[in-house]
Amino acid sequence: MRPTVIGHAAMPLASEAATRFRAFSCTRAAAEAAQTRVGDAAIVRTFEFAGLVVRVVLCGQPLLSVMLPAVAHAESSPERAAGRAATPDLTIVAWDARATGVGLPPAFCGEEAIGLRGEIASLSDERFHAAYFAQARLLCHYDAEDRLAFLGVVDATRLAAFERTNPFRAILGWFLRRHGRMLVHAAAVATPDGAVVFGGRSGAGKSTTAIRCLLAGLDYLGDDICCLSCDPADGPFVHGMFSSGKTHRRDWAMLPELEQFAEPRHHAADKEHYFLARRFAAQLPLSRPIRAVVMPDHSTGRLGFEPVAAAEAIAPIAASTTALLTSAGGEILTGLGAIVRRVPCYRFHLGADPTLIPAAVAEFIAARAADASRRAA
């Protein structure tokens, strides 16, 4: 049931712009057919991401347990949703082809046109963005002008852990960029005094450090993908996008309490993954001011924070983000540069005793918040 591949030569269209518009129209027609098929059984939820309102319409019961647990923390209360849902900043309609009987639309490009991160450049411009993830058999399409996006998946029950723990990430990435925010490959934890953003290459310790802080009582804004913004007046903020976490099973030796929260694995290659809103709802804020950008480092055996140059801190975040997230490019480095002009950067030596990490992070945040208050005064 993967999309039919149609070569460019077979399309009798006048221009590339017409091709992009027709491709989006085909995706829209399929999504609307699925919505008609399920009728009143469509599931509608309203969320708030980085201060923006997103309405999600799910067509197909399997999507409820697959696409929503990782964003449960961001769901608006019925009262708040009733006040804001009339004019959402974005509406996403998602459908499950297997559950609804409505397949994905025909493709408007050959397989060679699909980038390593899923993006389809020939169907993307300032208005439209498209991506197809072959392994997941999942299509994403976004129209920035109409504030409308569609997600079609062949069989939601077969999605791997990465898709479940970071749902809608391509669509949200395009949408947030349109509104001056950016998804990055980073983790973040916080106290009421503010947050630190953990960057670095894969395996640097971002996830385990963030989850360890969560288990010790700190606030949590993500272990893998976060949203960052830098308003000229308010300064840099980190926004929690996904209330999920991922670790290797071997990490249970250091964090045994995680085992009880683990979700079933659907693929042998999946990491252990967790939906944290069920247990830690009070520790999942939507946003916190950033006090520092920090690179975890477990190579020295000592515990403490060491100032580093901004370029040293943001380079690995920019590199891993552009390698991982759909359509991410030079704007990531520009956005990170704006943030580190406002907050300091550090290397965090994790030390030999990991149980000391959460207290060290909390003390560090308090000190950076005090510094920020003195500068403001």
| 61-75, 90-104, 253-267, 276-290, range with the lowest pLDDT | 253-267
Over residues 302-318, mean pLDDT: 95
Rounded to the nearest 10°, the torsion over CA 185, 189, 192, 193 is -80
Region 72-79 average pLDDT:
83
Tell me the per-residue pLDDT of 129-154, one tens digit each, with 9 for 90 and over.
999 999 999 999 999 999 999 999 99
User: E strand or H helix at 273, and its extent?
Assistant: strand 272-275
Helices 357-376 and 206-215, axial angle in degrees (round to 10): 90
Q: Which amino acid is at 326?
A: T
Coil vs helix vs strand at 270? coil
pLDDT of the residue at 7: 31
Give the residue among 305, 322, 1, 280 at the shortest CA–CA distance from 139.
1
- Predicted pLDDT of residue 80: 62
Question: Is residue 47's pLDDT more than 70?
Answer: yes
d(CA 31, CA 38): 11
Model pTM? Answer: 0.93
Q: pLDDT grade, residue 3 (50/70/90)? A: very low
Q: What is the mean pLDDT of residues 320-328?
A: 93
Q: Quick one: which H or E segment has residue 338?
A: helix 330-340
Check: CB of residue 28 under 8 Å from CB of residue 57: no
Sign (positive/negative) of CA torsion 312, 314, 317, 322?
A: negative
E strand intervals along 106-186: 128-133, 138-143, 148-153, 182-185
Calpha distance 121→97 (Å, rounded):
24
Least confident of 57-61, 159-163, 296-300: 296-300
State the CATH class of domain 182-376. alpha beta
Domain boundaries, the chain: 8-178, 182-376
Tell me the pLDDT band of 316, cut-offs 50, 70 and 90. very high
Average per-residue pLDDT for the chain? 92
> What is the percentage of the chain residues whose pLDDT exceeds 70?
94
pLDDT in tens, 226-267: 999 999 888 999 999 999 999 999 999 999 999 999 999 888
Q: In whole angstroms, what is the distance from residue 30 CA to residue 19 CA? A: 17
**Least confident span in 39-48, 80-89, 294-303:** 80-89
Q: Are strands 287-297 and 194-198 parallel, antiparallel or unpaired?
A: parallel
Give pLDDT, residue 5.
Answer: 30
pLDDT, residue 141, reads 98
- Only one residue has tokens 């960057």, namely 199
Q: Residue 6 pLDDT > 70, yes or no?
A: no
